[in-house]
Structure 1
Amino acid sequence: MTNKPIKAIIYTHNHTDHVFGASAFAETPGIPVYAHDTTEYYINRVVNQIRPIISARSMRMFGSHLPHGELINDGIGPKLGVTPESSLHALTPTHTFADQLSLEIAGIKLELVHAPGETEDQIFVWLPEKQTVLSGDNIYQAFPNLYTIRGTYYRDVKQWANTVDRIRDLGAEYLVPSHTRPVQGKQRIAELLTDYSDAINFVHDQTLRHMNKGLTPDQIVEAVKLPPHLASNPWLQEFYGKVSWSTRSVFDGYLGWFSGNPSDLQPAPEQQQANDMAALAGGTDALLSKAQDALAQGNAQWALTLSDHLMLLQPDSDAVKTLRADALRTLGAAEANPNARNYYFTVAREVQDGLIPGFRPRMNLDFLASLPIENFLHAMPALLKAEDTYEAETALGFDFRDSGKQFTLRIRRGVAKVSDGLDSDVVATLLTTENAWKSIAAGIQNPAAALAGDDLDIDGSTLSALKILGYFEKID
């Protein structure tokens, strides 16, 4: 801890725990914020495009709804520390760069270096005079999360390994990861980073080797295990990432979802598969009995798999829910990886207690104001209830009186598209301000209340405008 004044903020990457508390550190207005060129894009992507599903899966993975005892750890920290009362406020970067930026802050010389790995926008900070490197989240004392079960686009693991090599080549005397105690000593750091890079390369290369032999993801999981000297390294225990998850991600990154097995090409609908499984077992009651027997015999994974079918066949059955929850808790209790453990225990509570995982923090109005209005509008097409619009061809205008920006939201038989400018055939135009619409889009302000006040007016058919807005899902 220190009481020295904060002169600048550096984002090593876009993840929530690295940006959304920034305002708490900004002691004075206008404090400089440094980041990679793409960091703001990735922050906006999570906020506007995939927040509902990422929030739900993150809450499962981090065990945010679990009581003490079920929640033991989050893998790279004791707990996430985010509650429904939390307020998120990422400051907009004021200084960005593409590859490398040299600067001096408070008399300390720094090198900010783009170093993609866990995220595409990741950077490390090199203090040459102090022989110290701050590595962000590309290194921590656990097998790296080459894939995260909360969900992510493909993390280029070969690129990640190359970044670790670049950090090793600095010859640092001090290594300061974001989620792990600092490490001192050039030789110790070099050896640690060599093993870290080798583990990532091993998983990548051996996955490709077996892919090229025609193995499916399930088969590759069985084939790829870290060699003993890496598997026993304290920095490579599967306490955050897992080798099995990583091989699946590498496969998908190169070849996509199709395993190569033709039975995976066009599987029967889940309901049909459930019916077929029940018929094979001798009926739904027999299927439940076999699943219960499997759990009693210690085969929790098979019991969980069978419960997938039973939940479709008898979704309201207390016996089925109990079976599924018990299987999940059995798997969770045996799991050393906190991410997996938390996910199992949280879904058990969803099944048995009706828990709805999610995180809807208070959105700071200053933070919302800093986001481009284009992001809010271009997020709308993915919220379209397409099935309600197969016969609809219509357009709605947006006119933001404070910025002068105008847009047209066009619906064309199941597809929505936003374009710049106000088309002449819109059925109505929403007259508002950027901040007012951001508050509506974020769920802070009700559209009806905005209409009743001065924040929103409609030029044209109010009924048509409200009908168009009704075609879109509301983000809870």
Structure 2
Amino acid sequence: MSNSPINRRDALLASAGILATAAAPASVSAQAPQSSPSPVGGSTILKSQSLAPLMGAPVQLGKAENGAIVNQAALDAHAKTFPPRRETIKVADNIWVMQTPSVGSAFIVGTDGVIVWETGDNLEDGKIYREEIRKVTDKPIKAVLYSHSHEVLGTAPLLEGEKDVLIIGHPNLNANLQTSGVGAYFPETEPLQWARVYQYFNAFLPNEGPDGKWGLTVELGARGFVPVNHPVKHGEEMTIAGIRFQFFTEGSTDSSDTMLVWMPDQKVALNNVLWPYAPNIYTPRGSLWRDPRAWRDATRVLRDLQPEMLIGQPTLTLKGKDAIFAHLNNYLDFSNLMLDQTLRGILKGLGPEDLIDFVQLPDHLRNDPYLAEIYGLFAWYPPYIAEYALGWWDGDAATLFRLPRKEVALRLVPALGGRDKVIALAKEAQQNKEYAWALELVGYLWRLDPGDTELRQLKADLLRTAAQHTTSMIARPVSLTAALALEGKAKVPRLVPPTLEQVKSFGPGEFVDRHRVRIDPVKAKDTDAMIRFEFTDADNKAVALHVRRGVVEYVPDAGRYYRKPDFTLALTREGWTKLYLNQATVAQLADRNELKVVGDAAACDRVLDLFDKFEPEKNTLVPASGVGRL
């Protein structure tokens, strides 16, 4: 079969009894009615930056310094906007940028003190930043400025020995940092989201070699967050150490606590708006809704200041008013285009999956280095926007009755000729460099028998090739991690549970409430039991879980509930954490005097056994520490 993707598509259409639609004329008469896009011909797959590298388009592979095999286009784009190494650079008479390829910081020396922007991803970053500052000046640190809630975890060691420091940030920041930082719609999903975060920040990949780490590699560690003590209003002005600052909080990027810092006398902006790649509107870990309009608004505020120097996170420092203005205009246009063209596609009758290759960038945006497709994939964004706007239904009445994918696989695999034929089709697609289609075919068999040894290796091979061909710094490590896990070379957690620090940072009932989603309704179908939890380290606040025939009701005020408890546990949040993480039973904690129980401890444990457990042998129990750019 021909290796030409265009000829192959025509052949596929012909074999299906469908003729490819002829190319549309260059112009259409104003009187002639315009038809909707054809559902078969005229595919834009080969124009899609996201999909073309995995569907037969020519790809040149390259090697990073550590030997990692990466799409050369991604390596080239990365070099244009990312700092090459950790170093401190003087960018103005009183401003130094402390940059790395994954996180950035800066400090400004004023008349009688230092102002620090960003504190890093962990305690080690904060220590390094302090050392770098002390190489330049011994003036005290007067203020810390947070651009948003991600790079704020090195503050404690940075400020060691300092007094009366202003911690300036968005009014939402402290509340957002109370959670683990992954931005969950439903906090109950955070253990799964953290497992995904570890994957796409290269945590399970080797340091060197073809499968080596590449892209944003964040070292997760202990948190040193110091809360904001001066939340600012949009447009608020302050003078700190003789330096004038203005702060802007309208619009947002990857979190709802974005703060833009403006130094009007020097025309310098410090920002988390212009990233070294396109705005990442959707992230596969499953974050809170990222509204393209909010990113657009934040970009507009920054653009209209017309800065002459732009210090970013974690980009190279940009200088030159005209160049900065042009990049910010393009950035704003990208957000508008992604939203508006998605909505246009919806109005044309396209559903979420139809939109995957519908939105295409014009050349001037495609060629802007700050809009390179090297983090998220553009193909992810339109379906995400469409599902947020209208939900999953694509408008075809037939899909109101769609089957679960395993049921589809049960019927489709025999229709395609059985297991061996599907394997052969997948290998044929692999030969034709249609790796995305090969993975789709493998997926049908995977749903039926994930233990199939030959299938596991084929899937691993395809995922490794996909990782090497994609330009995405998220898709690459996730795909490689999955490949290594299939080959038994990496142990990847399905869930990353919270730490005691996180549990204790919330009100005493928060994680009791979260526990309700782990009930097994089949095991609990005949159970009616209520467990009351009295937290001795929180003024004996009493909450409860009422297991009621397969359903759990969380009771925020156990003393006012309509029925009496069957069991009462008096314990600390540390004791509850041990129960929550299945590190001990009620009976064991009672024997160790770590809780007091009213009722039969063994019977209470039998009720708690109706809930799914965190299983250490299946989950690498890595602390859900703070992380950088998400």
Same fold (TM over 0.5): yes
Contact 1:6/1:27, CA 8 A, preserved across alignment: no
Alignment of 1:55-454 (within 5 A): 55-67=194-206, 68=208, 69-74=210-215, 77=216, 79-82=217-220, 86-96=221-231, 99=234, 101-114=236-249, 115-136=251-272, 138-353=273-488, 355-358=490-493, 360=496, 363=499, 365=501, 369-404=504-539, 405-413=541-549, 414-422=551-559, 423=561, 425-438=564-577, 441=580, 450-454=589-593
Q: Which moved more, 1:199-208 or 1:443-452?
A: 443-452
> How far apart are the structure 2 equivalents of 1:40 and 1:340?
31
Contact 2:587/2:605, CA 8 A, preserved across alignment: no
How has the CA–CA distance of structure 1 residues 240 and 397 changed in structure 2, closer, same or farther, with 3 Å as cutoff? same
User: Which residue does 2:45 correspond to in 1?
Assistant: none
Task: Number of aligned residue pairs: give it.
Answer: 466
> How far apart are the structure 1 equivalents of 2:248 and 2:239?
14
Contact 2:470/2:476, CA 8 A, preserved across alignment: yes
User: Which residue does 2:84 correspond to in 1?
Assistant: none
How has the CA–CA distance of structure 1 residues 30 and 402 changed in structure 2, closer, same or farther, with 3 Å as cutoff? farther
> How far apart are the structure 2 equivalents of 1:446 and 1:100?
53
> How far apart are the structure 1 equivalents of 2:554 and 2:500?
28
SS of the counterpart of 2:401? coil
Q: Which moved more, 1:455-464 or 1:320-329?
A: 455-464
Contact 2:533/2:568, CA 8 A, preserved across alignment: yes
Deviations 1:351-403 (A, max 9, x none): 221744248599474x6543332432332223333333233332211112232
Selected match of 1:38 from 153, 172, 180: 172
How does the TM-score come out when normalised to structure 2? 0.68
Q: Which moved more, 1:223-232 or 1:277-286?
A: 277-286
SS of the counterpart of 2:522? helix
> How far apart are the structure 2 equivalents of 1:440 and 1:118?
34
CA displacement at 1:240 relative to structure 2: 1.2
The aligned amino acid for 1:297 is N
Deviations 1:7-49 (A, max 9, x none): 444433233xx23444333414885544433334433444753
Q: Are 2:607 and 1:461 aligned? A: no
CA displacement at 1:408 relative to structure 2: 2.1
RMSD: 2.8
Deviations 1:427-465 (A, max 9, x none): 111111234434654677776654333332212232343
How has the CA–CA distance of structure 1 residues 456 and 130 changed in structure 2, closer, same or farther, with 3 Å as cutoff? farther
Contact 1:274/1:313, CA 8 A, preserved across alignment: yes
Contact 1:389/1:411, CA 8 A, preserved across alignment: yes
User: Which residue does 2:627 correspond to in 1?
Assistant: none
The aligned amino acid for 2:573 is E
How has the CA–CA distance of structure 1 residues 167 and 374 changed in structure 2, closer, same or farther, with 3 Å as cutoff? farther
How has the CA–CA distance of structure 1 residues 308 and 425 changed in structure 2, closer, same or farther, with 3 Å as cutoff? same
> How far apart are the structure 1 equivalents of 2:591 and 2:371?
58
How has the CA–CA distance of structure 1 residues 214 and 291 changed in structure 2, closer, same or farther, with 3 Å as cutoff? same
Contact 1:284/1:313, CA 8 A, preserved across alignment: no
Contact 1:33/1:95, CA 8 A, preserved across alignment: yes
Contact 1:143/1:242, CA 8 A, preserved across alignment: no
> How far apart are the structure 2 equivalents of 1:323 and 1:254?
37
How has the CA–CA distance of structure 1 residues 420 and 106 changed in structure 2, closer, same or farther, with 3 Å as cutoff? farther
How has the CA–CA distance of structure 1 residues 32 and 319 changed in structure 2, closer, same or farther, with 3 Å as cutoff? same
Deviations 1:146-200 (A, max 9, x none): 1112221321111211110011112222211111122122222222111110111
How has the CA–CA distance of structure 1 residues 89 and 369 changed in structure 2, closer, same or farther, with 3 Å as cutoff? farther
Note the residue ranges of structure 2 that are not aligned, 5 or more in a row.
Answer: 1-131, 182-186, 615-620, 622-630
The aligned amino acid for 1:25 is L
Contact 1:174/1:186, CA 8 A, preserved across alignment: yes
Contact 2:503/2:511, CA 8 A, preserved across alignment: no
> How far apart are the structure 1 equivalents of 2:578 and 2:164?
24
Note the residue ranges of structure 1 that are not aligned, 5 or more in a row.
Answer: none
The aligned amino acid for 1:420 is D
> How far apart are the structure 1 equivalents of 2:159 and 2:496?
24
